[in-house]
Amino acid sequence: MLLYLASYALVSRFRRKDRDDLFSTDEDEVLVYRISSWLCTFSMAIAVGAALLLPISIASNEILLLYPNSYYVKWLNSSLIQ
């Protein structure tokens, strides 16, 4: 949800504001605009999440190597694997 909100803020920031696509009188155009905004925001959130998987897994592996006898780290690792 946090990635989606951050993606929405980023898409809203770089959206062209000189066009009045959202304020059109045609309801179909407004619907198409909302769907395209949702698709862009959703795909950006998925892409950022996929890009963050590798660094987060590397960091969690390093924490596991630093604290090999910690019960909490072993439990957390087994929960993430399962």
pLDDT digits (tens, 9 = 90+) for 2-53: 999 999 999 888 887 766 555 567 788 778 888 988 999 999 999 999 999 8
Please give the C-alpha separations between residue 60 and each of 3, 10, 27, 55, 70, in angstroms, as whole numbers.
20, 28, 48, 9, 13
Task: Tell me the whole-structure pTM to 2 decimals.
Answer: 0.66
Q: Looking at residue 69, what is its pLDDT?
A: 84
